[in-house]
Amino acid sequence: MNARYDQWVDYLYCAERQHAAVDRLSAAEPGLTLDDAYEIQDRLIARRISAGERIVGVKLGLTSAAKRRDMGIDEPIYGWLTSGMQLPSPASVDLRELIHPRAEPEIVFELGEDLAGPGVTPLDVLDVTRGVRCGLEVIDSRYAGFQFNLVDVVADNTSASQFVLGSTRVSVSDLVLPSLRCQLLADGVALSHATGAAVMGDPAAAVAQLANFLATRGQRLEAGWLVLSGGMTSAVELADHRDVRAEFDALGSVELAISR
Ligand code: OOG
Ligand code: MG
């Protein structure tokens, strides 16, 4: 299997570098398991690290009903964030360097201490959180038609492409995360809105589940890392717009300009 893992890593790495969509892994290899997919994901990130990037955090995916409905997958997933994915603010993305990008608003945790499962609770997450920011994640599935199953999307590092953070960091003691409101706008027009509760009832619960899941794979969240807790609303296709903006209660706003 090891040689085949590396073959799939090459396949997905090249698709990203060449911004060319590829067929789903599961079409060619229907026997791949979720464990295989996380192994491919780990090796994909190892490839980026040997090319000079470093891990800056973790992203959760499919933590809201809107995202699960849109993507047709009913369980949360996670992937890795690397230094090369973080955009300086004000951010802009160039459509010519991506495949079919979309953006989604997220609540982002900045961890002040390590956090290792099992048994991590939402309160433990709040205890180690240095602060929370708003963010926009740009996802860009490497699969044709932005269509995939659970195993495909996990192997593809959960469609991670780029992200940008808002400039305001707020202490968790000054926030009630489930009631934090956010609105997603494109070209100044409001598209959708949600509260933090859209993320598994409480984004801190989603992060706790992540820490516990990482523990089953011998991994932990580390001090200084960012955690993107998952898209709160449906994602918006960037090709249709000139800019996308997310406005949050208490956390300010974050914006992405789109060039082509
Ligand atoms: C999968 C990644 C989902 C989120 O926040 O739910 C994700 C996808 O939609 O392509 O990042
Ligand atoms: Mg996301």
Condensed to tens digits (0 to 9), the pLDDT of residues 222-231 reads: 999 999 999 9
Question: Is the bond leading into 178 cis (omega within 30 degrees of zero)?
Answer: no
Distances (CA, A) of 246 to 58, 171, 192, 243: 20, 20, 10, 10
What is the tens place of the pLDDT at every residue in 74-118? 999 999 999 999 999 999 999 999 999 999 999 999 999 999 999
pTM of the model: 0.98
Ligand 1 atom with the smallest distance to the CA of 71 is: 9
| Distance from residue 173's CA to the centre of ligand 1 (Å) | 28
Residue 184 has pLDDT above 80, yes or no: yes
Pocket of ligand 1 (CB under 6 A): 59, 61-62, 67, 71, 104, 137, 139, 141, 153, 158-159, 230-231
